[in-house]
Structure 1
């Protein structure tokens, strides 16, 4: 498939393991012919999805990170409110304010999303990270990683997410059919992912089953899969 068919949209988040720099290479491995459904069960930042969304009739995105999925749904459904909150955070930004936002609890989806994006953009190296126990490992950075175009990027991502099904669940719930495309980019083995690390047999079974459908691709840097399939 020609890279020229790719959209130029960028994700609204930057997570460890992002495939932004190699997304064109990934696009080269998309199947030829008609496109049906797209599945990405280890969603993360969604670098590939945002560039190829227009090629698929339906898309199913999922991840076990609840805050991440909450953010995707809020960007999809309430981009204006998310942008309003981000603008407020940006206006009051300081080291003290950063930790105030970080330590504040909220069950409001829009506030969860604005906090998630804000910490992502203003933390050290502008990357989201957590400890093995699931607690945030982000620390304040003196540099400003948030860009003036974050609002337009969120609006663009919101448009691309229209009509997309987004779930907080693990990868084993996907049910692709022949002709569908499944992109697998699981967490790095050395990351200490607290859920998938306990299910190597399930991951192995799932990946072995998919090739018979001719529906999947995985990134070469997906070390969990490489470790399981080739040890």
Structure 2
């Protein structure tokens, strides 16, 4: 099933081109430290999970959908009824909100901003302009299901390494970091260097290797680049895949991108 958020760099495509990953058998806990839109989590539907992200408002949103989704939906219905250009920027600028209000604001902006991009300025303020979509409440919404599937999830705001270090034998780790490589001309990758540095990529690889030695089952997605292959080739299986990207604003600039699926112990 599709998640309630659209997410730049999300993994809806992975479910389509590598469905075999959804049949991996594991007896432990599913752990995902870069939650984002949660596409793989919702497709896999694990019985128990630990979910995390460094984005505080994103984590608040998932907790609110898990614990108080009816209240969030009521606010989303208000946003839906009032949506306009003026209203969008009014809601975008609001601060000092309750957690329910933060969740509704987050989902509203995600569904109506340009290309569902999440971006903040140096002050940490969301600054993406309004987009062309205007449906806040959608016919395909499944709030009861989305909430229920989070019911057995521990949801944590924090650094990815702490979550990876929780993985033990028979747990399944799904790692989908922001794509950053060493020496690359891709503007989106360069932008992510601010969010997730090359040092973070090395720290991620080291943490994943420690989890491998503990017997955890691991799936990693990342950009197809020699610098990243070098981090994993010795101890992991590395597979190249192609997927279509719709990140670019102009359709002529939208291409197929080569990515990596990196696995071990599966």
Native 8 Å contact 1:122 1:140 kept in 2 = yes
The superposition leaves residues 151-204 of structure 1 with CA deviations (integer Å, 9 ceiling, x where unpaired) of: x42222101101210000111112111111000100121132545315344223
SS of the equivalent of 1:182 reads strand
The one of the two structures with greater contact order (alpha-carbon pairs below 8 A, sep at least 6) is 1
| Residue in 1 that maps onto 2:30 | 38
| Residue in 2 that maps onto 1:21 | 13
Structure 1, unaligned runs of 5 or more:
1-8
The TM-score normalised by the length of structure 1 is: 0.84
Quick check: 1:64 aligned with 2:54?
yes
Partner residue of 2:173 out of 182, 187, 196: 182
Native 8 Å contact 1:35 1:179 kept in 2 = yes
Partner residue of 2:156 out of 160, 164, 167: 167
SS of the equivalent of 2:142 reads helix
Q: Take 1:149 and 1:225, find their aligned partners in 2: how far apart are those partners?
A: 43
Higher helix share: 1
Name which of structure 1's ranges 134-143 and 13-22 shifts more when overlaid on structure 2. Answer: 134-143
Q: Take 1:71 and 1:224, find their aligned partners in 2: how far apart are those partners?
A: 36
| Residue in 2 that maps onto 1:73 | 63
Count of residues in correspondence between the two structures: 219
**How does 1:64-143 map onto structure 2 within 5 Å?**
64-125=54-115, 127-131=116-120, 133=122, 134-143=124-133
| Shift in Å, 1:228 | 6.7
The superposition leaves residues 73-127 of structure 1 with CA deviations (integer Å, 9 ceiling, x where unpaired) of: 00001111100000001111111110000001133011001000001111112x1
Structure 2, unaligned runs of 5 or more:
181-188, 234-266
Tell me: CA distance 1:173–1:147, structure 2 relative to 1, closer, same or farther (3 Å).
Answer: same
